Structures are given as C-alpha cells and as structure tokens.
Structure 1
Amino acid sequence: MKTAADKLSPTRVKLTVEVPFDELKPAVEAATKKIADQVQIPGFRKGHVPTRLVEQRFGRPAIMQEAVNDALPDLYQKAATEAEIKPVGRPEVEITEVPGLDGKDEGDLIFTVEQDVRPEIDLPDFSALEVEVEEPTVDDDAVQVRLDQLRERFGTLVGVDRPAEDGDFVSLDMTATIEDEEIESVEGVSYRIGEGNMLEGLDEALLGLSAGETTTFTSKLAGGEREGEEASVKVTAQSVKVRELPEADDEFAEMASEFDTLDELKADLKEKAEADAKGNRVALARNALLEKLLDDLEIPVPDGLVQEEIDNHLRNEGKEPGDSHGEEIREDTVKAIRAQFLLDEINATREVSVEQSDLMGYLQQLSAQYGIEPNQFLQMLAQSGQLEQIFAEVQRSKALDVVLADVTVKNESGDVLDLELGGSEDDADADDASDDAADEAETKPAAKKADESGAAEQETAEDVKAAAKTPAKKTTTRKAPAKKAPAKKTTATKAPAKKADAADEKDAKESGEKDA
C-alpha cells in the first residue's frame, strides 16, 4: 500500500491511498464467502456455493463493492498511521478506482481522504516561564464566613407572615402543562429562593409571593421526555420560612464541633481557611499558566470541529442548527478546543498518572453540581459510555499540574511561591485539581454534559464506511450506517436533568436543621 499526504492547512490533510489488488485479495475472498453464506442456490448447501456461481449470480462488481466496503476502515487506519497524522472529526472519503471489476485480478484500489487533524504545537521550555498570581489571604472575614456556614447547618426554619424574599425557603406545589396537557407536577417541595437549581424563572415567580398565593410563569422543562420544550408552570407557595441561626458562643461550639470554646472553633476554622487558600493558590497559578500558554502559542482549530461542537451544544439545549446562540458561544468553543489540544499535547510529552482518588474527586464535584448522589452519577456515566471522557478530563487537568511544577510562580510582590507540586500530591491538591477540571468543564459550551467535552476526539475508522463516495461510472460502495460518535466535554457530555426536588433533598440532608 502506498500513501501520499498533502497538507491542505495546519489542521487539514488529504491522503491519497493506492492499494494493489494482491493486498485486497483476502478481503475479496472474505466478501465472496460472506455472500455465499447468505444465499441459497438450488443444488448446493447454504455456505457451500462455489465462488464461480456466486460471481455469476451476483456479479463481480457486487463482490468488489462488499470487499472494499469491509476493508476500507482498516486501510484508512493503516494509511493514517503511515502518514503520522492525528485525526479529529469525521473523514471525507472518495473512492476513485476499484480494481477487479472486469474479472481480472489486477489494478489498484485508489481512494482519497480529506481529514481534519490536530495541529502541531511547539511547547515552550516551561522552566523558563513565569506567571504571577494574586495570593489569597485569610483574615477575620474569611473565618466569619466559615462560622456562618456552620451556623446555617444548625439553623431552624421558622415561618413568616410576609411576601417571600431572596434567600427565603418556600414550600411549594408546582404543575407544568403544555397545550393544556399536564406534563409533570410536584407537591410540598422545599426550595430556597436564589439557588437557581430548578426551573428557569422560578426565582422571579416566587419573589413577592405570600403563603397560599399562586402565580404562573413560562419556562423550558429541564428533564423528562419533553425536556427543552416550553411549558406553562403554575406554582403555589404553601409556606414561607426563614432560617434562624444559633448564637455563636461556647455552647454552639460544643454542640457543632469537637471543641469546647468558640475561640478554639475559630482557630480550627482559620487553619482550614488557610489550607483552602493554599489550594486556591495552586488553582490560580494553573489558570494563569493556561491563559499564558493560550495567548502565547499558535494553536489553530478546524472550522468543521468548531461547528460540530456548536451544533451539539444547540441540540442539547433544544435549539435548531443556525440559532443565533451558536455565534454567541463560538469564541468560547474555539478557546475550549485550543485548550484541549494544548493539554493533550502536554499529556503526550509527560508522564501523567490518574489515580482513583483523582477520578472520584472529580466525579463528586460534578455530582454535587447536578444534585445527584455520587454512586448514581457514576452509574449514569457508565451507562452512557462517558467514563473514558471523564478520565481524559482529569488527565488533562493533571497534565497542567505536571508542567506547573517547572514554572516560576510569583505573587504580586514578586516573591516566588512554593506550590509544593514537585513531590507526591496530597489529598488537598488532588481535590483542587478536580475542582479546576470541573470549572474548566463548565466553561466549555458543549460541556453541559457531554457529547461535548471531547471536542477533538478522534472518530473511529468505521466512519470511513459512512463517508466513502465512489464514482458512479465504477460502482457504488455501499454506505454502512454511521457509527454513533463517542460522547464528547467540553465543553462539550449532555447534562443529567436536574430533578425538581433537588433543593428539597438538599435541605432534608442538612445536619441539625429542624422545621419549626
């Protein structure tokens, strides 16, 4: 087999592949046997029809068509390997010459492939790079925030006789209808105004609503068979409550912690805040390095891949291709793909190991975002075939940490910071890596779950069958059904629908909370 590669652009190549008939013979024999096994000719047992009769009955072109169609994926894969390209997206294949149509075992199979590829990226000497970050500080306000959060966990819900305000807890009944057909209804759901984890427009509808009052608003359904469709939603406030916090004193410290005094509790909260600030410093340095690399390096992306990601994102939001929202997210989509190309290139040049704790930390972060129990979320990802994508996202995040260890990081005063990334990572650093990976996933336009995170994921060679085009004057190679593309990141995996009672479950689980 002979392969010639023509670079059409930094992100697209054209392969011209010539396969001698001798190399195609095994595929021709296999195709003949395949057809013989599927037909019944009087006087012969099924599967024992002579090759000569198969050719007479079905014709040589039909056999060659079957042979080429079955052999094409492996031939394409071999050609891509010989040309040393890194394919992304779906190839465009055209068959220009098919040998053996005249019954003679001679000639070449000739086909061309136009394929988007990953660009070549010249990584810098990371030890020569320098980034500056604003170093987080821990003051009394930071400790007070943590103390207030702890007090909220032990707060008590108390009913109030006034219209609902931002931050209030509302027990509500809700019914969604489309063209007078009831689609879904819930009763007695507890929701905190401002959390924004239910239907769009619910917060605005509840503001100013007193107990016993009803209002109606329009929103797109977030889950179920009618997901993405616009529905009329009637909501009734059964009660309005506020959370009263316990006094911050020694008695509270003894009840809510292992300490006997408030001062001891505050000291412990300060230590935790300082540990978090240290982790945040790593995250800030990571983000600063990524931004610097994206600014400094030339990383082109294929236009077709960008459009594919945008179309996937629109489809997941229930919008049609060409919707104006596509142009709004184009810039972020391009940036997300450039970042993925960059991190994958770093990953290819460094040893990046992903531990189970890294994966679980990232999964816990994602499951918390969608209000789903971690084990259930893991099962959903496994069933949808997205675990490999999750692994890749975590690996990319860790790849950035690996090179960050070589970079000089300074604070605003010019002092060099020791991020302690050179040795083994402790649990806190692993959690920070997971947090940042989740943040990155949120910025990806397609990453609202997923078909979208793997913007540059390579299509399988089987897609060549679906893409193959043969000249009409020769023979028409049968198109195989297009294989469903693997789920993709970032930006762009489809997000599990948020359950309407997610807020209720969250409140019910809060430790020490009582309904007065």
Structure 2
Amino acid sequence: MKSTVEQLSPTRVKLNVEIPFEELSGDFDRAYQQLSQQIRVPGFRPGHVPAKIIEARVGRDAVLQQVVNDALPAKYSQAVTEADVKAISQPEIEVGDLVHGQPVTFTAAVDVRPDITLPDYSKVSVSVDPIEVADSDVDEQLDALRQRFGTLVAVDRGAKKGDFVTLDLSATVDGKPVDDATTEGLSHEVGNGDLIDGLDDAVVGLKSGESADFTTTLIAGDHAGEDAKVTVTVTAVKERELPELDDDFAQLASEFDTVDELRGDVSQRVADSKKYEQAGAIRDAVLDALIEQADFPLPEQVVADEVEATQHQLVHALGHDDTQIDRFLEAQGKTRDEWESESKAEAEKSVRTQLLLDAIADADDTEVSQEELTQHIVMQAQRYGMPPQEFIQQLQNANQIGALYADVRRNKALATAILGADVTDTTGAAIDTSEFFGDDDAEAGDEPAKKTAPAKKTAAKKTAAKKAPAKKAATKTAAKKAPAKKAAPKKDAE
C-alpha cells in the first residue's frame, strides 16, 4: 500500500492512498465466505457456495464494493500510522473508481493536531488568594451543624426567610392551567431560591391559610420561556429551633467532650477546605496562563463538533423544538446569536485546552498506569453515586474508556506544568504546589489528594468540613468524545 500526505492547512491534511488489488485477496475471501452463508443455492450447503456463483448472483461489482467498504477502516488506520498523522476527527473519505483487478484508491481529509510551541513553565507566574480562616467561617459551619440537630416548630405568624413552609402551587398561562406547574403539600425553605423566581417574595409575610399571586417565567416543560400567573397557598409555617452551642451539644453531635474542642476541629477542617479551594484556583490560573501563552490554530471541524455536542444537550432536552428553544433562551436573556457565540467560545477553549495538554503530555512522555486509571474511575463513579463496576460497564458500552484515559493523562500533564510554575498568593508569599500536585500526593492527576480521614465519622465532621469544590476539569470528561481519539471511517464511505 502506498500513501502520500497533502497539507491542506496547519490543522488539516489529505491522505492519498493506493491499495494494490492483490492486497485485498484476504478481504475477498472473507466477503465470499460471508455471502456464501447468506445466499441459498440449490445443491450447495450454506457456506459452500462457489465464488463464481456468488458473483453471478450479486454481481462482481457489488462484491468489490463490499470488500472495499470492509477494508477501508483498517487501510485508513494503516495509512495514518505509517504517515505518522495525528488525526483528531472523523475523516472525510472519497473512494476512486472501482475496477476489478485494478488498484483501489481513496483520499481521506482529516483534522490533525497543530504544531504547538510549549511555553516555559518556569516563566508562568500566577497569584491566588491566600488561605484565611475567619471566625465567621467557623461559626457558619457550627450553625450548619446545629441546624442538623434543630427541630421544626409550628408558628402562628407570617413566614420569613429561614422558615419552612408547606405550599400548594397552581399556574396558568393565558388563563389555561399548566399541569406540570401544579402541586400540593410542597415543602420549601423560604429564601433558598431553589424553586421558581418570585416565589420567596410572594411567600414572605403569608400565614397558614393565606394565598398570593405572582408572575414568573417558566423555564421547563411545554410552556418554557412563557410568563405564567402562579397562585401560592401557605398551609403551614414552621421555624427551626436550634440547640445551644455548649458542651452538651458537642457531646451529642461529635466525638468531642467540649465545645472548644469541637470548634478547634471545625476550624481545622475549614482550613483544609480552603486549601482545596486554593488548589483549584491555582489549577485554573496556571491553565489560563498556559492557554494565553500558547497561540496555535484550532481544527475547525473539531470545534464545530464540540459546539454541536454542547448545543445538542439543550436541543434534545427541549424536544428539538425551535420555538421552545427560542423561549428558553429568551428567559435566559439571550438571543440565538448570543447562544451560538457563547457555545463557540466555550468549544474553542475546550479544544484548545485539550490540544495543549496533549502536547505537554507528549513532550513529557506522560503515561497513565492501570492503577491511576482505576483510581480515577472509582472517583468518578463515587461522584455519580454508582458502583464502580456499573460505571465501568457504562463507559465500555459508550466506548469512553479511551476518553477517560485521555482525561487522566491531560490532568497529569497539567500537574507537571503547575509544579514548574511560579505560584504565589496575593501577599507575595510563595506557595508549595507539591502538596496537591506532587507525584506522591496527587491521585492520577485528578483533584488534589485528600488526607485519609479517621475511620470514625461523626455528624460534626460530616457537616463542618465543606466539601472540596468539584474540580473544573482541565479537559472534558468522558461524557464527550475526546478530540484526540482517532476515529475509523464509516464503512459506507464512498
């Protein structure tokens, strides 16, 4: 097989491939064997129909077409490997005229990784906020713990922020009831903003048995983006009574004997949480600095595919209904042009990030061990609340193990860059990034490794320790196909 590479642009090439006809002999044998199993000819058992009879039945050209279609994926991959082409998109394949006995030719236009000049990590300098634990931070966590042990008591007064109310809701659009916006006996904490816009303002001041009307814009359902008149009726108002913060409470809610010991533990956990927040800020700042310093062209088709994948989530959720999409965007204060522009900007940043981190990983010969991949899969499964084996099965069914591997590799590459960068806080103090991004502590380049917690779990520890913010992935997660993944051509490419 002979192939040449034609550079169409810095991010796109065309492979010109010629396959000697004799190289397809094995493919012909397989094609005849498959057709022999399918064709029924009197006097011949299935699987034993001669090739000449098969050709007479389906035509020589049809057999040749099937052979070429079946052989194309492997021949394309072979050409990509031999030419050392770093393909990152689905190829556009055109097959030349097929003549029995003559060489088979095809072209494959495909996006490739651009040449990237990597920045000098030592010249990357970023600054983040210092770690500061205020008394108010500790008090906030202690109050959250007290709320877990609080009791709800019915009150005969108007509802106020922080109260728990039981509500009946009904809505109409243009005077017609909206079934999916109607409910009874709904529990709601006034002021948390979890439900619909305008509800909290309408509820404040209402006593049990009182109602109020307000107008809001629906964000889901058949009437998404439309204004609805909502009637809310309060059927119960309760306030939460909190236990006193004293030694008795410390003994009830934790493993500690005194409130001072409890406060000290909460303070330490708040500090740990802020460390994780700082680590996340460092990661984002270094990544932004790297992207700013590394200027390179982006593959247009890869960006377009990323935009389509991002927009498809909303389009699919709204039933592919253009009217519903426009209403939803209007409710968000966006035009379709603005949505398109934002989607493209996000896609460009995502693709640029992936390509840059791939280049860093290649330059450093970054590898991912089976243990690191397994750790990452287990962590992802925990985030989705799924058993690891079930999560792995879903990844395999979606053919996403490779994408997850690429994510881990990119995150390890980013950790390498962070370790080489100059990182300080806004006071000018140097920050030792090895605590979170060093080889000993980092978990497969994912989020900073957490210190092993004591085996005994208490209510205080579960409440006082703020959960470390979920890592803003340096790359897209396995939910989307990684651009770095080579894709085989479609069998029916012509």
Whether the 8 Å CA contact 2:133–2:267 is kept in 1: the answer is: yes
| Pair 1:307-2:304 in alignment | yes
**Structure 1 unpaired stretches of 5+:** 368-373, 470-516
Distance 2:124 2:44 in 1: 75
Distance 1:413 1:262 in 2: 33
Corresponding position of 1:192: 189
Distance 2:51 2:485 in 1: 38
Deviation by residue 1:197-229 (Cα, 9 ceiling, x = unmatched): 56xxx242353234443768553448xxx8989
| Per-residue deviation, 1:345 | 3.0
Distance 2:89 2:193 in 1: 35
Corresponding position of 1:430: 449
Corresponding position of 1:440: 473
Q: Call closer, same or farther: CA 1:150–1:176 in 2, change over 3 Å.
A: same
Q: Call closer, same or farther: CA 1:411–1:377 in 2, change over 3 Å.
A: same
Count how many residue pairs are aligned between Structure 1 and Structure 2. Answer: 442
Q: Which AA in structure 2 matches 1:456?
A: P
**Structure 2 unpaired stretches of 5+:** 326-335, 452-466
Q: Call closer, same or farther: CA 1:165–1:332 in 2, change over 3 Å.
A: farther
Q: Call closer, same or farther: CA 1:217–1:306 in 2, change over 3 Å.
A: same
Q: TM-score, normalised by structure 2?
A: 0.76
Q: Call closer, same or farther: CA 1:46–1:191 in 2, change over 3 Å.
A: same
| Per-residue deviation, 1:8 | 1.5
Q: Which AA in structure 2 matches 1:80?
A: V
| Pair 1:150-2:150 in alignment | no
| Pair 1:122-2:93 in alignment | no
Q: Percent identity?
A: 36
Distance 1:176 1:117 in 2: 53
Distance 1:293 1:424 in 2: 24
Q: Call closer, same or farther: CA 1:390–1:33 in 2, change over 3 Å.
A: closer
Corresponding position of 2:333: none
Q: Call closer, same or farther: CA 1:191–1:275 in 2, change over 3 Å.
A: same
Q: Call closer, same or farther: CA 1:44–1:429 in 2, change over 3 Å.
A: closer
Q: TM-score, normalised by structure 1?
A: 0.74
Whether the 8 Å CA contact 2:88–2:111 is kept in 1: the answer is: yes
Deviates more, 1:420-429 or 1:244-253: 420-429
Distance 2:297 2:360 in 1: 16
Whether the 8 Å CA contact 2:406–2:482 is kept in 1: the answer is: no
Distance 1:275 1:334 in 2: 34
| Per-residue deviation, 1:3 | 1.4
Distance 2:247 2:197 in 1: 37
Q: 2:473 is paired with a residue of what secondary structure?
A: helix
CA RMSD of aligned residues (A): 3.7
Q: Call closer, same or farther: CA 1:41–1:292 in 2, change over 3 Å.
A: same
Distance 2:80 2:343 in 1: 32
Distance 1:143 1:436 in 2: 18
Q: Which AA in structure 2 matches 1:35?
A: L
Whether the 8 Å CA contact 1:38–1:46 is kept in 2: the answer is: yes
Distance 1:304 1:327 in 2: 16
Q: Which AA in structure 2 matches 1:87?
A: A
Residue 342 of structure 1, aligned match among 350, 356, 372: 356
| Per-residue deviation, 1:93 | 0.7
Corresponding position of 1:474: none
Whether the 8 Å CA contact 2:368–2:408 is kept in 1: the answer is: no
| Per-residue deviation, 1:43 | 3.0
Q: Which AA in structure 2 matches 1:291?
A: D
| Per-residue deviation, 1:363 | 4.2
Q: 1:282 is paired with a residue of what secondary structure?
A: helix
Whether the 8 Å CA contact 1:177–1:183 is kept in 2: the answer is: no
Distance 2:180 2:147 in 1: 35
| Per-residue deviation, 1:7 | 1.9
Corresponding position of 1:328: 342
Distance 1:390 1:188 in 2: 43
Corresponding position of 2:429: 415
| Pair 1:18-2:51 in alignment | no
